[in-house]
Each structure stands twice: as structure tokens, then as C-alpha cells.
Structure 1
Amino acid sequence: MKVIIAYIPAIHRGYIDFINKNQPSIIYLLGLELVREVPRLERDIRALEASEAVNALKGIGLLEVYELTKENITKLDNSMEIVMPDEDVSHHFKESYLKEIPVQFVPVFLRWDKHNSFKKDVVISDNIISRELFDREVMNRAVAESEKSSDWWRQVGSVLVKDSKIIFTGFNRPLPSDQVHNIFGDPRSNFDYGVSFELSKFIHAEAGMIAEAARRGISLEGSSIYITTFPCPACAKLITSAGIKKVYYKEGYSLLDAEDVLKSFNIEIIKVED
């Protein structure tokens, strides 16, 4: 007998598809007491009570749906084929209550949990790879800019191009002065790659150039940006808001929703190779 156990804070198509694909005999929704064992989930203001989610699923024709509590966990046993979404709350529940019972964790995106918030996705550059001389020359300029950065963590260079002309160059640099990080250190050094990137003394190369263009009153509508490392989520949002239409990058990964944000605004993503 196949059983789905899941935390469903809000009903959406992703959950329905997940259920339909796995065709369970019974669905158990994690109750509030079990969910609250995972830190910070109480901050999700969307979250329905498990009993409300149960009623909602029954309302669309899924009849064998129940709330799972500490009192009825004993109904679960080795005779069941248990399936759970591959999420932080699922792993916590398995380690806490189902140590002796096999669980199949299914990779599926249903919500932003702690695990996928830090996931580094390979960038799908619209299947476009450029080896054009102009693009390689501009990217080499971006690489040269990156070498000016005093950030020990990562050196990023960037170039803005409009009408086939370079209008701005930049690199990640510390603020308010070039030596501020050498006095008290950089708080970013307390974290691993891809984690808490906003806690830094450095302004990102892309953000610095976009801000400089705004200060000078220069429109970036229809321009292209060349970046040695694929932009972070915050810079991706700045790029879309600035009207930039093409992103050329040399290396890196998409963190959180950076790639999705760019593609939502029909921004072309191009990888430059030698």
C-alpha cells in the first residue's frame, strides 16, 4: 500500500500533480505539532492548519486524506510504501519518527524550503554558447576587471554594453572605502558559498554599474551585460528592472530563482566560451 506523507501549507497545482503522479492509497498531512519541530516554519503566513488542508483535498475528490499527529504515527509500519517530498520537514520527520521504516524521498519543487533555497542549479543558457570575437573580447575585459577586486572570497568583473559600445565596467568592491574589510573583516567570511551573500561589505559588480548608470541618468534599456560569474538573485532582479536584455556569463551557477527571474522577463542568457 502506497502512502504519501507531506507538509502541505497551501494547496496548489504542484501538490495535486505530486499526488496524482504517485497514486497513493492514503495521504497523511503532517499536523501542526510535527511541523513546528522544524525551525522557522511558523513564519509562513500562508500555512493552513492540517485539518483545513485535509478538507480542501477531500473537497477536490481525494477521500483517503488524514491529519498525522504524534498520537496516530503508530499506524505507520514497514508494510507501507511511504513516499515524501524531498524537503527539510520530510527529512526531519523521517529521522525523528521513522528511523526503522524505509521512506522514498521524491525530488520535486513544491515550496522554498531550507534545502532548495541553497541549491546551486546549473544554468541553462537558452542552449546559446557564443564564441564570437566581440563577446570573447568583452568577456576578457570583464575578467580583467575582476582582477581588481580585493574580495578574497570571489572576484567578479562586469561590463555593460549598449549599441555595441562599452559604457560601464565594474567589479565587486568594498564600501564605504577600499580598506573597510581589512579593518574589522568581512562578515561574509562566516558563511559558505551561496549562503547569506547579502551579508558582505562588498557591492556586487552588476549592482555598482547599474547604480552608476542611474546616477548619471543613462538608460540601460536594451543593453547587454557581461559577467564573469552568473548573477545572484538580487542582481538578477536589478538586471530585469534596469531593462537589460542580454546576460553573457563565463561561469557559475543559478542560486535560488536568479535564472527563473531573468527568463520571466525574456532576458537572453548566453554563455561565452573561448
Structure 2
Amino acid sequence: MNHLVAYVPVLHEGYAKFFKKYGGTAYLVGPEFISEEFPRLIRDLRQLPVSDMVRAVQGLGIFEHVEVLTKVVAEKLQKEKATIIMPDEEISHELAPKYFSDCSITYENVFLRWDKPITLRETIVSPNRVISTKELDKKFIQLAKQEAQKSGDWWRQIGVVAVRDGEVLFTDHNRNLPTEYNLHAVGNPRDNFDAGEHPEIYPTIHGDYKDGYSMLDAEDIFKANNIEVVLVQDAKKS
């Protein structure tokens, strides 16, 4: 019988599809593990008490049995050398060698939330074109800096300037879209880090004028909306 082990802070369609694929018995990572081994997850404001999540998952009618994963339960699964399915997440890879070393583990490649490895993944951006930083470009950068001051985001303020044929179409600053509440759905990637750690990771929509790479799904969003990606370089680098 399958034994599915996962951290489930909330329920959404992704979890439901994952559960339906395997069935069997589900074990939801409990507060004993969160407080001792993954304290940063306490910041996740979405998470419900694990006892409530057990009832919610049981109510889906997918599993024969659902219970909280405690260290006592983990020891029982280890002794049974159980067949365990876990989402391919940081938590799973830390729990498995420590508590399920004698078990047969299957890591399911599924996106359920922004865990730390996914958040840190860098994607090389393929710019549509490359230009030099002429005086006009420097003017646009200054406008972007001024616009950034309007942001109400306490963590980071970023301004963006949309330009066509040398004319400014509009300016804007970073904000959560479609609403300020969307982070309650799948969580905030910033919850994986402390202040000053990986400042390049941020979920609000914004524009950057530094060269580099795409984090999260930034490049896909731009190109899906026919936004030209331009790499701005100093003349001496071109």
C-alpha cells in the first residue's frame, strides 16, 4: 500500500491531483517537525492547524486513512520499510534520509508551493536585443528610480518605465497582482529566507534594469504578453 508523506499547509487543485494519483494512506507533516526542523515555515500565514488539514484531506474521500506525521509514526514506517511517496520538495529530501532511510522513496515532480530550491532556481534570459546605455537610457533609469519611491512594499521598491521609440508610455512600481492578497494562495517565496538573504528573490510584479537572469516565472510572463526583453549594457561592454 502507498504511504504518502507531505507538508500540506493548505488545499488546492494541485494537491488534489497529487493525492488522486496515489491514494492509500496520507501522513501530513506535523508541528513536531515544523518547529524543530523547519522553523521558517512558521512564517507561512496560509497554513491551517494540521488537525484541520487532516479532516480536510480525509473529506476528499481519496485516502483510506489520513493522520499527522509524528516522530513515532515515522519510526513505525521506517520499521515496516514502507513504500513512501513524497513531493519533490526540500522538506521531503531532508526528512527522507533522516527518518525513512530503509524505506522505498518515490519523489513526485509536482509544483505545490514555492519551496526554497524552486525559489532559488535561475533561468538564463534570452534578450530580444542588446543596447548601450546612452544618455537617453540613463534618463529612463533615473525615472525608474523616482517611480520606485512610490511603492508601498516595505521589503523592496522597484520602478519601471515603459518606452516606445524614445517616448515614455507610462511608469509604474512594484505591487502584487492581481490583488494584494494573491500571496495567500500559494505562499510567499520570501518566507524561505531571512532579511538580507537572496534579495533577488521577490514575488511582486516589477521591472529590473540590471543584467542577469530570470527568477521565478518572470521571463515567461513578459514573453507571454509580447513584452520585449532588452539587456542594457555599458558601451564599453558591447
Q: Quick one: higher RCO (CA 8 Å, sep 6+), 1 or 2?
A: 2
| 1:219 maps to 2:169 | yes
| 1:31 maps to 2:30 | yes
| 1:238 maps to 2:206 | yes
C-alpha distance in 1 between matches for 2:29 and 2:109: 18
Amino acid aligned to 2:71: K
1:4-15 equivalences under 5 Å are 4-15=4-15
Match of 1:106 among 105, 108, 112: 108
Q: What is the aligned partner in structure 2 of residue 118 from structure 1?
A: 120
Secondary structure of the equivalent of 2:71?
A: coil
Long gaps (5+) in structure 1: 146-158, 160-165, 174-197, 222-231, 241-250
C-alpha distance in 1 between matches for 2:73 and 2:87: 20
Per-residue Cα deviation, 1:55-95 (whole angstroms, up to 9, x for no partner):
11111212422111112223314643211111121122113
Long gaps (5+) in structure 2: 143-154, 172-199, 232-238
The TM-score, its normalising length taken from structure 2, stands at 0.61
Q: Percent identity?
A: 34
C-alpha distance in 1 between matches for 2:88 and 2:76: 22
C-alpha distance in 2 between matches for 1:31 and 1:234: 28
The TM-score, its normalising length taken from structure 1, stands at 0.54
User: 1:209 Cα deviation (Å)?
Assistant: 7.0
Max radius of gyration: which structure?
A: 1
Q: CA RMSD in A?
A: 4.0
- More moved, 33-42 vs 3-12: 33-42
C-alpha distance in 1 between matches for 2:103 and 2:170: 57
1:129-144 equivalences under 5 Å are 135=129, 139=130, 141-142=131-132
- Contact 1:88–1:115 (Cα < 8 Å) also in 2: yes
User: 1:267 Cα deviation (Å)?
Assistant: 3.8
Secondary structure of the equivalent of 1:47?
A: coil
Amino acid aligned to 2:47: A
- Contact 1:170–1:209 (Cα < 8 Å) also in 2: no
C-alpha distance in 1 between matches for 2:122 and 2:111: 14
1:88-99 equivalences under 5 Å are 88-99=90-101
1:1-274 equivalences under 5 Å are 1-21=1-21, 23-36=22-35, 37-63=37-63, 64-77=65-78, 79-121=81-123, 135=129, 139=130, 141-142=131-132, 145=133, 168-169=137-138, 210=161, 218-220=168-170, 237-239=205-207, 253-262=213-222, 266-268=225-227
- Contact 1:7–1:35 (Cα < 8 Å) also in 2: no
- Contact 2:75–2:99 (Cα < 8 Å) also in 1: no
Aligned residues: 185
Per-residue Cα deviation, 1:84-134 (whole angstroms, up to 9, x for no partner):
1111211221132123323222222111111111012355x7xxx96xxxx
C-alpha distance in 1 between matches for 2:59 and 2:100: 29
